[in-house]
Chains A and B, each alone.
Chain A
Amino acid sequence: MIPEIGHFALIVALFLAFCLGVLPIIGAARDNAVLMGAARPLAYGQFVFLSIAFACLTYAFVVNDFSVLYVAQHSNSQLPAIYKVSAVWGGHEGSLLLWSFLLAGWILAVALFSRHLPGEMVARVLGVMGLVSVGFLLFMLFTSNPFERLLPAAADGRDLNPLLQDPGLVIHPPMLYMGYVGFSVAFAFAIAALLGGRMDATWARWSRPWTTVAWVFMTGGIAIGSWWAYYELGWGGWWFWDPVENASFMPWLIGTALIHSLAVTEKRGAFKSWTVLLAIAAFSLSLMGTFLVRSGVLTSVHSFAADPKRGIFILSFLVVVIGASLLLFAWRAPKIGLGGKFDLLSRESLLLSNNVLLSVAAASVFIGTLYPLFMDALGQGKLSVGPPYFEAVFVPLMVPMVLMMGLGPLARWKKFSAPELAKRIRWAFASAALIALLLPLTMGEWSAMVALGLLLAFWIIASTMLSLRERLAGRGSFMQRARGQPLSYYGMQSAHLGVAIFIIGVTLVNGYETERDVRMEVGDTLREGGYEFRFNGATEIEGPNYMAAKGNMTVSKKGKLVTELYPEKRQYNASGMPMTEAAIDTGWLGDLYVSLGEPIPDSNGAWAVRVYIKPFVDWIWAGCLLMALGGVLAISDRRYRLHRKAAVKRGAQDKSSMGNILATEGKQS
């Protein structure tokens, strides 16, 4: 009964989404207040019914209802309770339901927090998001219904893929989806602005916080995914340039370009068309990510479906969305105009260059990811594009980008003088260069790549310090001045520092990691990087839904015990799948990473063991965290709270408060 309620709720949600996608947009075009006013109630209704559907599926998982096909395929009565809940999005159908549910959540959020926007704009934004929702609900109901029954019911489920039985999976997909789906808000604002034909800077101001929130989720989601791959796949790698990772990385790159471009559009009125195009691109790439991952075109841990009907549906949906928005863009964009003027040497052109570099980087990832698909489709045979391609393209693109990234916050809008700027930055740059040249000597072998990476990282740090000093030094007490800076300024600096920390992590782990695959007898000792790893053998243990061999490794440095590590090799009962569970000792300066390969036959308990030393690897994720934190700071800025207060005031119909906001914002730029 419960699954049927869920199914029914989906159908109702589809109906509501359809109304939401049509009525308010017609209302906005005809200036019909009743139709426009329908947007909010429809948005609330859609959210309620999708929540019901989501709750029904979760319930089916929790009570082990194996008469539901999807539950039987992705759960098992032995599965620990927390993974029963996360198994809801452990497969194709449930992921789609999660996607739709989150989209309904974003629509709800826009409906609730848009009181200060003109009714026409709200109607169009909610309408466009409603249309996106229609696409996904149709897809779900016609090709991948999560509530499909299995008759007769299975005695027990097939179990969730062991790789996915991990705390990382509980958070990673919802986070990432929040990001993917969140870009639909920026997209909807851009389309609404195109539909309305009024492309002033206001739409950028409205969509900025939404875009930043989506970007924060996406940054977090990708970072968690990377961290999960690092400790769960047992290979010690943190990024594989796997097509599925690339699918999430492309919208992130474009999204990063978008939040910078939005800033310019809002503050200077420049890049108007470009910003619209980026908003369309970011969401299109999010959709394409879903297409790549879910259609079964790419096979990996993430791709569940191998049903061509689904692929064709998503592909058509993609074509409709991208085609329609680009057509609209081509039709309306000439009206938008290019916006504010600026010089070749100006903060605008630095930001524009970085925008272009980020987009080009996304395009090069796109080429590398889709090239094998195209070649295969053209009958040119199967091939694969490996990580070396991406590294060879990415590094040369990111070097100028990072150099300009340090300059950007220091340069003036509209026009700066090169000699003057060079004079300001010379000490910052010189100290960064000096550290970059000398630091590798203390770490071991000096190499040009390490020095380059460190130069980039310390250049960001030094230029951030310089910017802080210029802003905070001067008259008045330090604290006063520090408090006087807008939070969004600290947000930007935090995100930029995050990039620096990230680069340090990547550079040092690539430059100085050591990886050893060795055969170890019980009692064997391996010396590596100043540590002694002693293998004390492995014992059989029994987990809740698996059997495992649990190894014991004592790590000591100069005779002193550092830590004990317990890597596991598991065999899951229901699926029979083996799984390597690495043991990691995490530290500020690096990780000790041990995982069990396989037992060596005809020996006294010997194992093939991986012993990795990963210097500064955690800085990679710490950097991502700082970037996300920067985004959070930026949206906590006072002016967004001012908006809300102003909106309340404006409820009493005075327009002067808008003027106040504009005045405060003018000061910040």
Chain B
Amino acid sequence: MKPRQKRFMFIAVAVAALALVVGLVLNALENNVSLYFTPTQVFNNEAPHGRSFRIGGLVQEGSVKREADGLTVNFVITDKHKSIPVVFKGILPDLFTEGKGVVAQGRVEADGVMRADEVLAKHDENYMAPEAADALKKAETANAAAAAPASAPAAPAAK
């Protein structure tokens, strides 16, 4: 092969490989990203149906109930405004406690209950997953926004 052809071969192989890898990465990202939603968003039907996603929030006090098999656990994730019931079968992480931050991944069925395949509670008793903290903050602002027009009906009218 002439040097020029050789260089061309190297470049052609590299470009083909690069295209393949980019395709691979994009495809994998497309299929394996799970989005976070707050309980309020799930309540407002903003979360996708029939697809797995994550909910962040707090475990509502007094909501954790075990079924007779000892493994199925029912609890409620709340952002202090709206709540979503969750069912999980399996062993919960060490730091799963009522009133503390939690993230659950799963699908929400038509009955509005999330069937979780994964429950995460992080490693430190004071620590709240940023997703959970974010959910509380979002719910706060959403609620404030919802309350504002009600208390000041003149505002939309003035527009």
Contacts and interface: CB of A to CB of B under 8 A. Distances in A.
Is chain B a partner of chain A in the same complex? Answer: yes
Interface of A: 161, 163, 234, 299-301, 343-344, 349, 356, 360, 364, 367-368, 371, 381-386, 388-389, 392-393, 396-397, 517-519, 575-580, 597-598, 600-601, 603, 606, 608, 610
A577 B95 contact: yes
Contacts of A576: 125
A601 B70 CA distance: 8
Given A344-B6, A600-B70, A393 B131 contact: no
Sort chain B's interface into a size bin. 35 or more
B10 A344 contact: yes
Contact of A389 (B17, B33, B90, B94): B33
Given A299-B130, A364-B25, A597-B91, A384 B36 contact: yes
Contacts of A360: 17, 21
B134 A371 contact: no
Contact of B32 (A386, A577, A579, A608): A386
Interface in B50-76: 54, 56, 66, 69-71
A396 B29 contact: no
Contact of B9 (A344, A371, A383, A385): A344
A32 to B, nearest CB: 44
**Which of B34, B122, B123: most chain A Cβ within 10 A?**
B123
Contact of B66 (A368, A518, A600): A600
Chain A contact residues, majority secondary structure: mixed
B92 interface: yes
Interface string B10-44: 10001001000100110111011111100000000
B91 A301 contact: no
B1 interface: yes
Nearest to A609: B91
Contacts of A367: 25, 29
Given A368-B29, A393-B24, A386 B34 contact: yes
A163 B6 CA distance: 55
B29 A371 contact: yes
Nearest to A387: B32
A608 B125 contact: no
A301 B123 contact: yes
Interface string B142-157: 0000000000000000
A158 to B, nearest CB: 10
B129 interface: yes
9 contacts: A344-B10, A384-B54, A388-B28, A388-B31, A388-B32, A393-B24, A396-B24, A575-B125, A597-B91
Contact of A383 (B1, B6, B33, B66): B33
Nearest to B3: A341
A368 B70 CA distance: 37
A393 B28 CA distance: 7
Contacts of B35: 381-383
A575 B95 CA distance: 12
A50 to B, nearest CB: 30
Nearest to B96: A598
Given A393-B24, A517-B91, A603 B70 contact: yes
A385 B33 contact: yes
Contacts of B10: 344, 349
Nearest to B28: A392
A384 B33 contact: yes
A159 to B, nearest CB: 11
B94 A579 contact: yes
Nearest to B128: A299
Contacts of B24: 364, 392-393, 396-397
Given A161-B123, A597-B92, A606 B70 contact: yes
Contact of B70 (A383, A385, A577, A608): A608
B153 to A, nearest CB: 30
A578 B94 contact: yes
A356 B125 contact: no
A417 B10 CA distance: 17
A313 to B, nearest CB: 21
Contact of B71 (A343, A388, A397, A608): A608
